Amino acid sequence: MAQCERVALKYWQVLDSDGGITNQQMALEFLPALARMVVCGGTHGNELSGVYVVQEMERQRKEKGEGAWPIPVTTVLSNPRAVKECRRYIDTDMNRCFNTATLSSPITDSSPYEVRRAQELNKLMGPKGSKDAADMICDLHNTTSNVGLTLIHYTSSDWVTLHICKYLQARTSQVCFNKLHTEN
């Protein structure tokens, strides 16, 4: 399988004391190739677009084999019980289950289904923060809000993510990008 080399173009400006630009520089930064990507659908069981994307990607993998994409891609139906019932969640919102405290909490008989599933997914995709963690996770959602096509990313320092956002924005006329700040 071919590897996709990650190249980031860094650009910065040096300002003089009056705020004028005195110097502009660009540099290429070569980053390690992406080793593994995860595409998730069905985190919320009533949001079916991601479920259909995951199903289509699995169909393409069966048809084209493991070389269907230039890097290894794992497809995940995140919350299969909620998808089966076409409900947002069974016990608790799965999006709230991926913080460090919940992922490391002991499982008991009374643990919510989504907490159990989040810990399973954490093992599959990572674990979170480890050297074995997936390089990129795309968690696909729907909304009933009138926000159009929106991409939400959690970083302002990962050049690959920022270049992907720029690439998609240049090719999609009405895409909105939001950056979220998280502590975990």
Residue-wise pLDDT for 32-58, tens only, equals: 677 888 999 999 999 999 999 999 999
What is the residue range of 102's domain? 36-142
Looking at the predicted structure, is the pLDDT value of residue 105 above 80? yes
CATH number of the domain within which 106 lies: 3.40.630.10
Structural domains in the chain (count): 1
129, part of any domain: yes
31, part of any domain: no
What value does the mean pLDDT of the chain take? 82
16, part of any domain: no
pLDDT the model gives residue 28: 62
Looking at the predicted structure, is the pLDDT value of residue 4 above 60? no
* Cα distance between residue 88 and residue 5, in whole Å: 37
Other C-beta atoms within 10 Å of 32: how many?
9
Looking at the predicted structure, is the pLDDT value of residue 148 above 80? no
pLDDT band at 150 (very low <50, low <70, confident <90, very high): confident
Tokens of 67: 């070389």
57, part of any domain: yes
160, part of any domain: no
Mean pLDDT value of segment 72-101 = 96
**Quick one: which of 58, 31, 44, 42 has its CA closest to 136?**
31
Mean pLDDT value of segment 110-115 = 98
Question: Under a CB-based contact definition with an 8 Å cutoff, are residues 31 and 6 in contact?
Answer: yes
More confident residue, 27 or 102: 102
Whole-prediction pTM value? Answer: 0.75
pLDDT the model gives residue 3: 47
Tokens of 138: 């795309």
64, part of any domain: yes
* Cα distance between residue 68 and residue 64, in whole Å: 5
157, part of any domain: no
41, part of any domain: yes
More confident residue, 64 or 152: 64
